Amino acid sequence: MSERDDHADASPDPAAQRLPAGDRSEVAAARLRLLSEARRRIAIYQPTLADDIYGSVAELAELRRLATSGRGAEIRLLVHAPEDALRDHHRLIALAQRLSSVLLVRTPLEETDLSYASSYLLTDQGGYLFQPDARRAEGRAALADRASQAPLMQHFNEVWERSARASAWSPLDL
C-alpha span between 141 and 122 (Å, rounded): 10
Instruction: Answer yes or no: is 94 within a domain.
Output: yes
Contact partners, residue 31, CB within 8 Å, separation at least 6: 53, 54, 59, 121, 129
Per DSSP, the residues of 145-156 read -HHHHHHHHHHH
Contact partners, residue 100, CB within 8 Å, separation at least 6: 170, 171
Instruction: Answer yes or no: is 6 within a domain.
Output: no
Instruction: Answer yes or no: is 170 within a domain.
Output: no
Instruction: Answer yes or no: is 89 within a domain.
Output: yes
Is residue 86 within 8 Å of 118, Cβ to Cβ?
no
CATH number at residue 118: 3.30.870.10
**What is the per-residue pLDDT for 15?**
59
The stretch 155-170 carries a mean pLDDT of 92
**What is the per-residue pLDDT for 119?**
97
Instruction: Answer yes or no: is 81 within a domain.
Output: yes
**For 91-146, what is each residue's pLDDT tens digit?**
999 999 899 899 999 999 999 999 999 999 999 999 999 999 999 989 999 999 99
Instruction: Answer yes or no: is 130 within a domain.
Output: yes
Contact partners, residue 67, CB within 8 Å, separation at least 6: 73, 75, 95, 99, 102, 103
Segments forming the whole domain that contains residue 58: 18-165
**Element (DSSP H or E) covering residue 57:** helix 57-67
**Element (DSSP H or E) covering residue 123:** strand 119-123
How many other CB atoms are there within 10 angstroms of residue 56's CB atom? 15
C-alpha span between 173 and 38 (Å, rounded): 31
**For 17-45, what is each residue's pLDDT tens digit?**
899 998 999 999 999 999 999 999 999 99
**What is the per-residue pLDDT for 88?**
87
Count of domains observed in the chain = 1
Instruction: Answer yes or no: is 1 within a domain.
Output: no
C-alpha span between 154 and 152 (Å, rounded): 5
**What is the per-residue pLDDT for 108?**
97
Instruction: Answer yes or no: is 50 within a domain.
Output: yes
